Amino acid sequence: MHLNALKILYCKIHQSDSFIQETDDTLVITQLIYQKLWNYPMAIDEGFALYIKRRTKEIEDALRYHARNCDSPCIICSDLEKIGV
Ligand SMILES: [Zn+2]
């Protein structure tokens, strides 16, 4: 699983302006995401593991597209700034 995608998902789930937890431990970040997923009916219905896998895949795809195509500040640039990339 791509660490940056996981961190961006953390920010989105926690509605945070920054990646507060100073860790690169994917297990720790995943556990922090799990704590908030009880607020997301879609995640409950889908299952947390599948939800995280699907969402991080979507974010990874967006990051790949972004890396090739972004030529001005955009929402993904903002997301990357939040996680300190
Ligand atoms: Zn951009």
Distance (Å) from CA 85 to ligand 1 centroid: 12
Whole-prediction pTM value?
Answer: 0.87
d(CA 5, CA 21): 15
Q: What is the pLDDT of residues 19-50, one digit of tens each?
A: 766 788 999 999 999 999 999 999 999 999 99
Residue 1 pLDDT level (bands cut at 50, 70, 90)? low
Q: What is the pLDDT of residues 44-72, one digit of tens each?
A: 999 999 999 999 999 999 999 999 999 99
**Does the pLDDT of residue 78 top 80, yes or no?**
yes
Distance (Å) from CA 52 to ligand 1 centroid: 23
Distance (Å) from CA 58 to ligand 1 centroid: 16
d(CA 80, CA 75): 9
